[in-house]
């Protein structure tokens, strides 16, 4: 009998406590399935902070206080103190559940860091890359040749990826950021930070 990897595995804020000092083999990783996507919502507290999947999503930077999870917000909803400790960690499954109902609800932007995402630099870089690739593709077609165009520029690239159910759909790889609302519906659509240049 041949053992096969599962096709896809979505990790919902994978555990950090008790795994903090384990070696790489002790953590979930890209080799656990053909495609591993991870939603980080409580980085460094209950959830692991570093990327461990083929695609890692960091809604609201993956920070421990997700929107709607502050003590004052929970107190106003009558959910303090019981939900204060678990609120951010639990957001991962709530975001995923919303993505099942609305698979394209959580578009995320590929970016190296949360700081670059928040500053709007990644949004600007994506716009510039799309423009440059379109220009090169136009010139290539005008010359009736694709031999000089690198393969990655002839293929659609994953500047955006959908967090949740459709994470695998676009061939995405890397680290992606997005913002959410503080309650249901959590989706904010294509609401990405802008730089001062817009």
Q: What is the mean pLDDT of residues 34-57?
A: 90
- pLDDT attached to residue 150: 47
158 confidence band (pLDDT: 50, 70, 90) = low
pLDDT at 120 over 80: yes
Q: Residue 9: helix, strand or coil by DSSP?
A: strand
pLDDT, residue 175, reads 93
Q: Has residue 38 got a pLDDT over 90?
A: yes
Q: 159 in helix, strand or coil?
A: coil
pLDDT for 152 beyond 50: no
State which of 74-78, 94-98, 106-110, 164-168 shows the largest mean pLDDT: 94-98
The confidence band for 98, taking pLDDT boundaries of 50, 70 and 90, is very high
Given this model, what pLDDT does residue 151 score? 47
pLDDT at 155 over 60: no
Predicted structure pTM score: 0.78
Any residues with CB less than 8 A from the CB of 194 and at least 6 apart, and which? 120, 123
Q: What is the pLDDT of residue 131?
A: 64
Q: Which of 116, 80, 98, 123 is nearest to 39 (CA)?
A: 98
Residue 136 has pLDDT above 80, yes or no: no
Alpha-carbon distances of 52 from 30, 73, 84, 150, 153, rounded to whole Å = 6, 31, 26, 28, 27
When pLDDT is cut at 50, 70 and 90, the band that residue 112 belongs to is confident
pLDDT digits (tens, 9 = 90+) for 165-192: 888 877 788 999 999 999 999 998 877 6
**188 Ramachandran zone, left/alpha/beta (phi>0; psi -120 to 50):** alpha
Q: Which string of DSSP letters, residue by residue, matches 33-84?
A: SSEEEEE-SSBTTTB--S--SSEEEEEGGG-SS-TT-SHHHHHHTT-TTTTT
Which is nearest to 187 in space by CA: 59, 50, 93?
A: 59
pLDDT at 156 (0 to 100) = 45
Specify which residues 58 forms β-bridges with. Answer: 177
H/E element holding 101? helix 87-101
Does residue 7 carry a pLDDT above 80?
no
């Amino acid at each position: 009998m041949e053992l096969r990897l599962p096709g896809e595995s979505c990790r919902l804020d994978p555990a950090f406590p008790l795994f903090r000092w384990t070696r790489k083999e002790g953590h979930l990783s890209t080799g656990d399935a053909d495609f591993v996507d991870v939603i980080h919502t409580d980085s460094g507290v209950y959830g692991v902070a570093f990327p461990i999947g083929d695609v890692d999503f960091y809604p609201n930077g993956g920070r421990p206080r997700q929107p709607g999870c502050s003590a004052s917000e929970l107190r106003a909803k009558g959910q303090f103190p019981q939900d204060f400790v678990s609120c951010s960690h639990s957001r991962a499954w709530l975001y995923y559940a919303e993505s099942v109902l609305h698979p394209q609800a959580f578009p995320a932007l590929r970016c190296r860091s949360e700081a670059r995402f928040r500053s709007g630099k990644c949004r600007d870089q994506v716009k510039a890359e799309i423009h440059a690739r379109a220009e090169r593709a136009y010139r290539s077609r005008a010359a009736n040749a694709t031999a000089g165009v690198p393969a990655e520029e002839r293929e659609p690239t994953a500047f955006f990826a959908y967090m949740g159910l459709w994470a695998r759909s676009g061939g995405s790889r890397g680290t992606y950021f997005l913002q959410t609302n503080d309650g249901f519906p959590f989706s904010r659509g294509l609401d990405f930070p802008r730089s001062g240049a817009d």
